[in-house]
Amino acid sequence: MFHIYIYTPLYNLWNYIPHIIEHCAYNIKSEKDFFKYGNEEFWNSTYYSYFILETNDKSILAEFIENLSNTPLKELIQYEHCIIKKENKHPEYSQKLINKIWKELYWKKFNFNQTWKVLYSKVLNYHKKYYKKDNMIILENNIKYYTWKLDTKLKLHKNIKINIEKETELIYIFKHSIETLFTIYLISDLIDNFLYYNSRFKNKEYFRTDSIYWDFEDYIYISIDINNIKLSENINKSFISEYINNNLNKKDYLSNKDFDGSCMVKYWYTLSNEHKKELLINLEKYYAKLISMF
Question: In one letter, which amino acid is 204?
Answer: K
Q: Which of residues 101-130 bind Zn ion (CB under 5 A)?
A: none
Q: Which residue is nearest to Zn ion (CB)?
A: 87
Query: Of 87 and 233, which CB lies nearer to Zn ion in the complex structure?
Result: 87
Question: Minimum distance between the CB of residue 41 and Zn ion, rounded to whole angstroms?
Answer: 12
Contact map string, positions 74 to 103, toward Zn ion, x by CB under 5 A: -------------x----------------
| Cβ(25)–Cβ(33) below 8 Å | no
> Cα 8–12–17 angle (5° rounding)?
50
| Number of residues lying near Zn ion (CB under 5 A) | 1
| Distances from the Cα of 286 to the Cα of 103, 104, 122, 176, 240, angstroms | 28, 25, 44, 16, 11
In the complex, what is the shortest distance from the CB of residue 106 to Zn ion, in angstroms, rounded to a whole number?
21
180 vs 173: CA distance, rounded Å: 11
Site track for Zn ion across 31-70, x = CB under 5 A: ----------------------------------------
Nearest to 93 by CA among 34, 167, 28, 38: 167
Closer of 91 and 105 to Zn ion (Cβ): 91
Amino acid found at 166: K
Among residues 13 and 83, whose Cβ is nearest to Zn ion?
A: 83
Nearer residue to Zn ion within complex by CB, 80 or 169: 80
Query: How far from 229 is each of 41, 192, 193, 226, CA to CA, in Å?
Result: 32, 12, 14, 5
Of 14 and 196, the one with the shorter C-beta distance to Zn ion is 14
As measured in angstroms, the least distance from the Cβ of 84 to Zn ion is 6
Binding site for Zn ion (CB under 5 A): 87
